[in-house]
Structure 1
Amino acid sequence: MDAVVNHLLAMPSWLALLLIFALPALEASAFLGFVFPGETALIIGGVLASQGRLSLAAVLVAGIGGALVGDSIGYAVGRRWGRRILHTTLGRFVRAEHLQRAEDALSVRGGWTVFVGRFTAALRVLVPGLAGMGRLSYRTFLFYNVAGAVIWGTLMVVAGYVAGSNWHRVAHLFSGAGLVLTVLVICAFVVVQVLRRRRRADSTDG
């Protein structure tokens, strides 16, 4: 990953901006996020803006726009082809536990999973396609996708802008935070499931 980042930092400004759009766009639509998280591209975009090589506004538009386009494509692909994608070579990048967690979270919280999933690498890659597979309303998906992309994209770019040459620390911090958030999502799902079972048991006993 460091080699990719170094190439990004050394690229001509217009090409770097193109990749700042393309990498988040490919994250969920082509499962690229399992190899190169889109958040890293946005953080590096913020670094380039802090160096005066790119406009901060241009980086924000490119990064957020790429995230929105990529997730919409991921949703459409999931809706059209569904699990067939997971049974191809691309499916090898998807861990069974990540897939199950994303499906479980979507079944319980729907749109909110789209929003929260934006901030965790594993869910960010899987949720758009699974939302399409699960026939979540595109209007609902779009609303939460836009909200998540704007907040997440702005946070990543500004973090890179402020961190500058210390971007490694910021990337590591957000990676750890994403892991913690994933664990919290799973715990919340377990709690909801336990409470539902207790309610069903109580209503049956009553």
Structure 2
Amino acid sequence: MAEFLAFLNNLSNPDWIVAHGGLYLLLFIVFAETGILIGFFLPGDPILFIAGIIIANLTLGPVDSVLTLLYWIALIASAGILGNFVGYWCGKYFGHRLLKMKDNWLFKKEYIFRAQDFYHKRGGVAIILARFLPVVRTFAPIVAGIVEMDFRKFAFYNVAGGILWVGSLVTLGYLLGENEWVQHNLEYVIIGIVVAATAPVVIKMITGKKKTPAYAEAEMLEEEEC
């Protein structure tokens, strides 16, 4: 457990990342967080910001630096896009089994129906917004598969969201990467990024407890069957 916590702590250290895989480690982390259920705890936003810092501090000329930035963005975005496709197909494959389960303290069908209503109302924009929300970005493609969101629509917004998410945060890290204050206060910058990304989720959890019509109807059907 101590080694695992040390690993998470080291992910905020650009020098440690460079010494332990660099770009390959970043690709694995982004793919795992967006495509593997147990990867929800990985720090996607800080990792992207740190990727930009790493590029900014490479000894490259202006042209090579920009080309490297675009190259890293393309590869990391591809890892995130592929991860979401994996999550979607896993959700589609296991979704029917989940809907057959009875409610318990960990799983409630209300969550699925609420997500279904959300995708119907917000459409593909939900896939893009989920990219910027820790934990949510891990489960969003899985839920999209469970509720059988149109695959072509999912694919379009998955690609758009992946490019926007990776491109914006890596570029931000690149632009601020040589700033001395940012380098000396990286922990606070990372905390600020996480708080800014998590706040909408907390607010939604507090204000969004009303049961959806679909869930209410499902409850009525279960009561009639009993």
TM-score normalised according to structure 2 size: 0.68
Q: Is 1:22 matched with 2:22?
A: no
**Aligned residue identity for 1:4:** L
Query: Any gaps of 5 or more consecutive residues in structure 2?
Result: 1-7, 60-64, 99-105, 178-182, 214-226
Q: 1:19 to 1:149 in 2, by over 3 A?
A: same
Paired residue for 1:45?
Answer: 51
Larger radius of gyration: 2
**Aligned residue identity for 1:2:** N
Contact 1:29–1:70, Cα closer than 8 Å, also in 2: yes
Q: 1:119 to 1:126 in 2, by over 3 A?
A: same
Paired residue for 1:177?
Answer: 196
Q: Distance in 1 between matches of 2:122 and 2:29?
A: 27
**Aligned residue identity for 1:139:** R
State the secondary structure of the residue aligned to 2:135: helix
Q: 1:9 to 1:144 in 2, by over 3 A?
A: same
Q: Is 1:150 matched with 2:163?
A: yes
Residue by residue over 1:24-82, the C-alpha shift from the partner in whole angstroms, topping out at 9 and shown as x without a partner, is 11113212443212222211211110111682223212221111010011101111123
Contact 2:10–2:16, Cα closer than 8 Å, also in 1: no
Alignment of 1:105-120 (within 5 A): 105-120=118-133
Q: Distance in 2 between matches of 1:11 and 1:144?
A: 30
Q: Is 1:56 matched with 2:69?
A: yes
Q: Distance in 1 between matches of 2:93 and 2:10?
A: 35
Residue by residue over 1:82-129, the C-alpha shift from the partner in whole angstroms, topping out at 9 and shown as x without a partner, is 3768xxxxxxxx887xx5665553343231211111111122111100
State the secondary structure of the residue aligned to 2:12: helix
Q: Is 1:68 matched with 2:81?
A: yes
Query: Any gaps of 5 or more consecutive residues in structure 1?
Result: 86-93, 195-206
Superposition RMSD in Å:
3.6
Q: Distance in 2 between matches of 1:102 and 1:20?
A: 29
Q: Distance in 2 between matches of 1:83 and 1:28?
A: 21
Q: 1:12 to 1:113 in 2, by over 3 A?
A: closer
Q: Is 1:132 matched with 2:149?
A: no
Q: Distance in 1 between matches of 2:51 and 2:33?
A: 16
TM-score normalised according to structure 1 size: 0.73
**Aligned residue identity for 1:44:** I
The structure richer in helix per residue is 1
Query: Which residue, out of 3, 11, 15, partners 1:4?
Result: 11
State the secondary structure of the residue aligned to 2:73: helix
Equivalenced residue count is 187
